[in-house]
Amino acid sequence: MAQIWEPPVRPFYMRNLRIENKTPSEYIMSIVAAESFKDGDYFGPLPMEQRRPPEYILEVFADPSSVKDVVKGILHTIFFHRFFPSVRPRTHDVLDLTLPVVGDAELETLIEQKTSSLIRQLDTTSDLGSRSSGVRGQIAVQFFEKRRRKAWFTKGEEEVCWEQWTLDVTLAIPRTESERAKVRKAMETMLLKTAMKIVTTVNREKDHIPPITTSEANPFPYQISTNPKGDGWGARIGIF
């Protein structure tokens, strides 16, 4: 009587690979795939929940005369805690708050360009709609790590996002002196709240920061992107 070939007991990381009822050669290929999966190599995208980076949402509220300084101040505060090259820090007063500035020419230029782009788009959106309704936009900062890509026939590096900050920007357009006073107070309160949230978050959330494995001046590439969208503001902020 011929013996029936049975595969050995599969390790825990192979339980979901569906290799039951396979031939010996198919089973061996499954083992190779499982070992690669165990070591961090894979032949397709990982499930979203395994590769989605943490995202931190920040509320930004300002009028047209202050929005650029407020957005730049918040971006610099984020990079002050996530920009690893050696720089000489500076400070800048925004409204009634003193915020840090990262003294890196390339980063300062990028922040200036992206903030100006967001402001232009917000202005265009407000011109297309009612000036009294206000507009909203978003500007996002992503930090990446370089990982070695290994698969059957390809090797190289890929940039994987390990953290994202999203600024939900509300552009307030006050119509009266009373509204201007309320908007000013709301801007100062929200800017302080946002700055404190950044400090609290970076001091608490550290475990996901990748190890530095390169001698490059900036071990973690970054990206700033904008995506404005229209919406109301007065009722949402709750100041009227």
**What does the angle CA 114 – CA 116 – CA 122 come to, to the nearest 5 degrees?**
105
Q: 118 near 137, Cβ under 8 Å?
A: yes
pLDDT number for residue 101: 94
Helix residue ranges per DSSP H, 129-176: none
DSSP notation for 173-214 = ---SHHHHHHHHHHHHHHHHHHHHHHHHHHHH--TTSPP---
Residues 6 or more apart from 209 whose CB is under 8 A from it?
Answer: 162, 163
Q: What is the DSSP-derived secondary structure letter of residue 2?
A: P
121-176 per-position pLDDT tens digit: 888 776 655 454 567 899 999 999 988 776 666 667 788 899 999 999 999 988 89
Phi, psi torsion values for 214, nearest 5 degrees: -135, 155
Q: 217 pLDDT band (50/70/90 cuts)?
A: confident
Nearest to 53 by CA among 141, 118, 155: 141
Residue 14 confidence (pLDDT) above 60: no
Domain boundaries in the chain? 48-237
Count of Cβ atoms closer than 10 Å to residue 189 Cβ: 14
Q: What is the DSSP-derived secondary structure letter of residue 169?
A: E
How many Cα atoms within 13 Å fall on the side-chain side of residue 46? 12
Q: Higher model confidence: residue 61 or residue 150?
A: 61
Helix residue ranges per DSSP H, 54-94: 67-82
What pTM was computed for the model? 0.71
Which class is 48-237 in CATH? alpha beta
pLDDT number for residue 32: 44
pLDDT number for residue 154: 63
pLDDT number for residue 235: 41
Q: Which residues pair with 58 in a beta bridge?
A: 167
pLDDT number for residue 211: 87
Q: 34 near 13, Cβ under 8 Å?
A: yes
